[in-house]
Structure 1
Amino acid sequence: MTEQTDGRLAAAVESFLEHARHARGLGEQTVRAYANDLDQLVRFAAGRRVTDARGLGLELLRDWLWEADQRGLARSTIARRSSSVRAFTRWASETGVLGTDPGARLRAPKGAAHLPRVVSSDQVRTVLDQLGALADTDEPGPLRDLAVVELLYAAAIRVSELVGIDVVDLDRTRLTVRVLGKGSKERVVPFGVPARDALEAWLDRGRPALAARAGAAEPSALFLGDRGGRIGVRSVYRIVARALDGLPGAGPNGPHTFRHTAATHLLDGGADLRAVQELLGHASLGTTQIYTHVSSARLREVYRTAHPRA
């Protein structure tokens, strides 16, 4: 195709839907699915101040899928969104709305394993010891990274909750932090002395140094990115992926590994299931019960490898 279409994103989406409905003859259910997914993309892009189709890039599309993943949307929904946007950007590049096709390299996040990844207490200690050794240099980046991982594991919070924490949400005396969970539900969760020490080092030495280096800083955010703004979800993913790199075991290397690990370690240590539910901010006890299955799976694996008649 060589047809030139309106470059405004919302208008381009409408033109694509008309093309899908009439030129391609797709069923109304398929067109409605495209419309719903692409409406979400238009809204997300507008939040990033992108209203022109030419502003679409691979990073924005990836961020859109990551945001959906962090809101807990089903993997099938995210896969459908990825398919919808690839169809749209392919059409947009063919009609001249876009010069290139950013969706050609877009992939939906891989489906999670049936059971979440859990690392052992010794492995957690190894990761934190390595981060602590880097933080001993008093460089702001390593000080922040140590505090991030310590808090993720100590408080068993979601990455979306961590990046939203403000300095005033932290109570270093009571060793608690206030977070905003799913459904805008607020809760206060405890953390331990090692996490407090890492947070104090970050707040007293790391954060001011990073803010000075960046030339400015987001005044309220607990954790800052390298440019002084509030740290983003993807930056935390990179921090955790580096920390977990090289550890034995299969599964994702994301921040939720520490949330899963903390919940499993609490249950292994005798914590009450309902107390763990409250700590994690789960609306349903059934959601928390997956961690009892994780513990059972680990027990079976230990039995299989250690018992002479397994």
Structure 2
Amino acid sequence: MIGLPVEETAWPGILREYLVFLRAEKGLAPRSVESYSRDLRRWAEFMARCGRSSPQEVEREDITSFLEELRGRGLSSRSLARVTASLRGLSRFMVEEGIIDRYLGYDLPSPRHPRKLPRILSQDEVGKLLDQPIPEDPRGLRDKAMLEILYGTGIRISEMTGLDLEDLDLDEGEVRVLGKGSRERVVPVGGAASQALREYLNTGRPRLAKHPRQRAVFLNQRGGRLTRQGAWEIVKKYASRVGLRDMMTPHTLRHSCATHLLENGADLRYIQELLGHASISTTQVYTHVSMREIKRRYLEAHPRA
């Protein structure tokens, strides 16, 4: 089959339309859209090599061949499952837009992959991490408040950096959060996080702010909204100081918050609401993490373990 330059096919234009749809209509985060874009660029290049200049020319076997090629390149089952989901989404879009009249490979099974248990920190490790920022200057006050709210509420780093001043109600001990899928929820803020936030808002933030109309809670050195990546770099810096860098992912404090709540008797449904999970099945992973910790403590403490 004669290959084609991908620019001479219909695929680039269709993919541009689909990515706009994902951003504007589906409300996907930029990182998610970039993942779709990366997967589908591979697909478009594969189709061009196969001489398939438009979606109308695609056969079901083309999708199977594409996935087999990726598997041969060493892609993990998790990555293959994501690619398959990307192709399904594109297929649905093309049917709904009238580009094609049948789904392409809609019945393809997703490659199965083992679900990894999230990494968590012990309560002592969390304590050491949260004690690292020195709240003597604006950045130290900000960093202390950041770490306390991430662990104290279990919100995502992206949710934290998206907070505006009007989202805080520290008198009531509440924060309004805009989560995945633009779902809004209100989460409680405990004493330690509330105190750290008050100190930052009263003393630290005014010295970082460069413009009175800036509404972001967490600011960078230039007075703008702290980005997700900027916040993650700050978390990594303090984790490295206490030898926890290898344990940390952007969600480690979130996972640790949920697991410690469960270990101390919190109901799973409450944790689901706190974390903003649409399905209880997502939250149930913490029961497995908690059991892992119970087993570890048992082996350490029981005289006949």
With the length of structure 1 as denominator, give the TM-score of the two structures.
Answer: 0.64
1:146 aligns with 2:144: yes
Offset, 1:253? 2.1
**Equivalent residue number for residue 129 of structure 2:** 127
Structure 1 residue matching 2:220: 3-state secondary structure = coil
Offset, 1:168? 1.1
Given that residues 264 and 291 in structure 1 are in contact (C-alpha distance below 8 angstroms), is that contact kept between their aligned partners in structure 2? Answer: yes
Given that residues 152 and 255 in structure 1 are in contact (C-alpha distance below 8 angstroms), is that contact kept between their aligned partners in structure 2? Answer: no
Structure 2 residue matching 1:245: 3-state secondary structure = helix
Inter-partner Cα distance in structure 2 for 1:250 and 1:231:
21
**Equivalent residue number for residue 198 of structure 1:** 196
Could you list the per-position Cα deviations for residues 45-104 of structure 1 after superposition, in whole angstroms to 9, with x for gaps in the alignment?
Answer: xxxxxxxxxxxxxxxxxxxxx9425x8x9x8x68736867999xxxxxxxxxxxxxxxxx
Inter-partner Cα distance in structure 2 for 1:36 and 1:185:
27
1:185 aligns with 2:219: no
Inter-partner Cα distance in structure 2 for 1:33 and 1:266:
47
Cα pair distance change 1:43/1:81, threshold 3 Å: same
Could you list the per-position Cα deviations for residues 164-189 of structure 1 after superposition, in whole angstroms to 9, with x for gaps in the alignment?
Answer: 11111111111110011112111110
Matching of residues 280-295 of structure 1 within 5 Å: 280-295=275-290
Cα pair distance change 1:220/1:298, threshold 3 Å: same
Inter-partner Cα distance in structure 2 for 1:129 and 1:233:
22
Matching of residues 76-155 of structure 1 within 5 Å: 80=39, 114-131=116-133, 134-135=134-135, 137=136, 139-155=137-153
Offset, 1:289? 0.3
Aligned length: 236
Q: What percent of counterpart residues are identical?
A: 41
Inter-partner Cα distance in structure 1 for 2:273 and 2:235:
24
Counterpart AA for 1:172: L
Structure 2 residue matching 1:277: 3-state secondary structure = helix
**Equivalent residue number for residue 161 of structure 2:** 163
Instruction: Flag structure 1 segments of 5+ consecutive residues without an equivalent.
Output: 1-16, 23-27, 45-65, 88-109
Cα pair distance change 1:234/1:249, threshold 3 Å: closer
Inter-partner Cα distance in structure 2 for 1:179 and 1:157:
8
Given that residues 12 and 44 in structure 2 are in contact (C-alpha distance below 8 angstroms), is that contact kept between their aligned partners in structure 1? Answer: no
Structure 2 residue matching 1:271: 3-state secondary structure = coil
Given that residues 117 and 251 in structure 1 are in contact (C-alpha distance below 8 angstroms), is that contact kept between their aligned partners in structure 2? Answer: no
Counterpart AA for 2:131: D
**Equivalent residue number for residue 68 of structure 1:** 31
Offset, 1:237? 0.6
**Equivalent residue number for residue 273 of structure 2:** 278
Structure 2 residue matching 1:187: 3-state secondary structure = strand
Structure 1 vs Structure 2 CA RMSD: 3.9
Q: Quick one: which of 238, 245, 248 aligns to 1:243?
A: 238
Counterpart AA for 2:257: A
1:36 aligns with 2:31: no
**Equivalent residue number for residue 261 of structure 1:** 256
Offset, 1:195? 0.7
Q: Mean alpha-carbon deviation: is it higher for 34-43 or for 216-225?
A: 34-43
Cα pair distance change 1:285/1:249, threshold 3 Å: same
Counterpart AA for 1:20: V
Counterpart AA for 1:205: T
1:19 aligns with 2:5: yes
Inter-partner Cα distance in structure 2 for 1:278 and 1:42:
29
Cα pair distance change 1:142/1:35, threshold 3 Å: farther
Instruction: Flag structure 2 segments of 5+ consecutive residues without an equivalent.
Output: 24-28, 47-77, 80-113
Offset, 1:40? 3.1
1:221 aligns with 2:213: no
Cα pair distance change 1:203/1:82, threshold 3 Å: farther
